[in-house]
Amino acid sequence: MWELAINEARKESIGVFTDGSMNEGRVGGGWHVEGVGGWKEGMRKLATVWDGETVGMRGGIQMAPEDRKILVLSDSQVAITAVRKVGKNGRARTGELKE
């Protein structure tokens, strides 16, 4: 099951939890990074929910310790697919992935 795979991967990794959402016409991307001594978090205002998801991923990765493996947990298949494509071909459709 996928739950067991995630739990197994988290034993060796820092968890980065991400989300993008819209509320009252405003879009945000957020992230939480597991860390020693607590959680780090951030938020930005954006144009689309898709941008929010990718910003959450990037923000969490940037805040995670560089000496640890990172496990990104996102609920957006579209954003996950976009990030994988950028990793393979270096081209992004959104400015949030070009940075």
CATH code at position 77: 3.30.420.10
Residue 42 pLDDT class (50, 70, 90 cuts):
low
| pLDDT of 41 | 60
| pLDDT of 97 | 58
CB atoms within 10 A of CB 89: 8
Q: Provide mean pLDDT across the span 41-59.
A: 77
State how far the Cα of 98 lies from the Cα of 37, in Å rounded to an integer.
32
Indicate the average pLDDT of the chain.
78
Residue 58, classed as helix, strand or coil, is helix
Residue 54's nearest CA partner among 16, 88, 23, 89 is 16
Q: Over 70: is that where the pLDDT of 76 sits?
A: yes
Number of domains observed in the structure of the chain: 1
| pLDDT of 4 | 87
Domain boundaries, position 25: 2-98
Read off the pLDDT of residues 12-21 as tens digits, 9 standing for 90 and up.
888 888 888 8
Q: Over 60: is that where the pLDDT of 98 sits?
A: no
